[in-house]
A and B are shown apart, each in its own frame.
Chain A
Amino acid sequence: MRILLMRKHARSNPRNFMMGLLLLCLISACAPAAAGTPENPSALDTHGPGAAQISGLWWLMLGIGVVIFAAVVVLLVMALLRKRRSTVYTPAERDSDTGRSWVIWGGIIMPLGVLAILFVFTLHTLAAITDPVDTPLSVQVVGRQWWWEVNYQQQGIATANELHIPVGVPVQLSLESGDVNHSFWVPQLHGKMDLIPGRTNTLTIKADDPGVYRGECAEFCGLQHAHMGFVVVAESQADFDQWVVGQQKPATAPTDDAVQRGEQVFLSAGCSFCHTVRGLDDSSVDVGKVDLGPDLTHLESRLMIAGATLTNNVGNLAGWVVGAQHIKPGSLMPNINLPADDLQALLAYLESLH
């Protein structure tokens, strides 16, 4: 008997342990989900009015879901604990319609009520996040496999994978696609909006707080869909204006020997067939038509490279230039086979593009 008890005890212990572990995993998985990190932004950690409206709706749906789930569990427990009826039914029991009323109330009337409530709140949210008509700033965003072309046409700025917006100002985005369907999503600022070839969709985003918010392509668009990220930098109006002025300038002609050599490598290695550097004179390329790769005029001012896959530093830049196909297989950027000296010069040149 004692042995039996001990065995039973020993067997139940690991099970409790596993359950505890599972619970711990669930809790630890949920806790950061609500807070989010810069690398893994959460749609519940909102910094813009659009995202705030949507997360409000999300919490409402979660609340209703929890109440219904709890009610179902209570009913289930009650049914399990209920004394078993005798197998012989009295005529009164057989004719009673208790079962039917459960189906009518629980299966038809209650779901209709819940859906009606959610419908009203959803309409309310949709109305609240509708784009305002007049915005002081509009930006064209073109989705490409697998990066984001960003054009501030009024300001004459072209950049990539990085949107700068002034805090508190609604910014209208004209979303277009250069190839296949993509979807623009900055979870902390607003909901998703598709980019569809041959069509221009608009989305107005606004950031309430300064910060760097990560965005992702949210519509499967091919091999490197998961590496098609970008960042939205929300900054004060003064910082934004300063950024605009800096971006409007063309690249300055290199004075340093190494940088000058790097410029020659940039031209001879064929970089300029896909990448524009405004201010760099290349007679072999029609500058206005180069859009295969990001504009590199102010590459060094950007936080990330390769569709927000890598932080922008010389180590990552070197690995990207000579081994892009290993980092993002299938992207248009080829591995550039350069002699080591040329690579150093090219890196010096790229680093000079402030």
Chain B
Amino acid sequence: MKLRVLWIALIGFGFSLTACAAGVNGGPEAQTVPQGNVEQGRTLIVHYGCGSCHTIPGIMGADAKVGPPLDDFYERTYIAGLLPNTWQNLSKWIQDPQGVLPHNAMPDLGVSEADARDIVAYLYHQPGLFDFLRR
């Protein structure tokens, strides 16, 4: 009985260590976007067909290699090799890629501001186990 408690405590301690790691090394972490809905974002990513060009964890069938993979997007430094990675810039990019960077390959998908926010919320969220099972 005591041994079991010890094990659980040990595992719990291990988890807390890994959870701290991101904070300790100063790397960017997952973040929430004001008025952005993660689940709605997941639906919209399927709706706009993002997965035909990008690999996105947690989206069924989104494993294409036309454009860059979008996993752990919050860790990226630049968007399209051009804009600093903030949610405002990412939202702008998704809404108007041809306006932000003319002559690039990503087409204008006609994404509204509200939809872009939800998509950004999804790309910035910390994927859970469920997201990896759903690939």
- Which of B98, B103, B104, B109 is in CB contact (< 8 Å) with A315? B109
List 19 A-B pairs, Cβ < 8 Å.
A310-B52, A313-B47, A315-B48, A315-B50, A315-B109, A316-B52, A317-B49, A318-B52, A319-B51, A322-B53, A322-B66, A323-B53, A323-B66, A326-B63, A326-B65, A327-B52, A340-B105, A344-B105, A344-B107
Task: Select from chain B the residue with minimum beta-carbon distance to A341.
Answer: B103
Tell me the smallest distance from the CB of A312 to a CB of chain B, in Å. Answer: 9
User: How does the 8 Å CB contact mask read for A313-354 relative to B, with 1 for contact and 0 for none?
Assistant: 111111110110011000000000000110110010000000
7 interchain residue pairs of minimum CB distance: A319-B52, A315-B49, A316-B49, A340-B105, A319-B53, A323-B66, A316-B52
On B, residues with C-beta under 8 Å from A are 47-53, 63-66, 98, 103-110
Which of B47, B50, B66 makes the CB contact (< 8 A) with A326? Answer: B66
| Contact indicator B49/A313 (Cβ below 8 Å) | yes
Minimal Cβ-Cβ distance residue in B for A309 = B61
CB distance from A89 to the nearest CB of B (A): 55
Residue of B nearest to A344 (CB): B107
> Does A40 count as interface, using CB distance less than 8 angstroms?
no
Q: Is the CB of B103 within 8 A of A343?
A: no
Residues of B within 8 A of A323 (CB): 52-53, 64-66
Q: Which of A310, A322, A340, A341 contacts B49 (CB 8 A)?
A: A310
Give chain B nearest CB distance to A165 CB in angstroms: 27
CB closest residue in chain B, given A346 = B107
Min CB distance, A317 to chain B, in Å? 8
- Taking CB atoms, residues of chain A closer than 8 Å to B50 are 315
Contacts of B48 in A (CB 8 A): 313, 315
Quote the shortest CB–CB distance from B13 to chain A (angstroms).
26
Return chain A residues, CB-CB under 8 Å to B106: 318
Asked if A13 lies at the interface with its beta carbon under 8 angstroms from chain B, I say: no
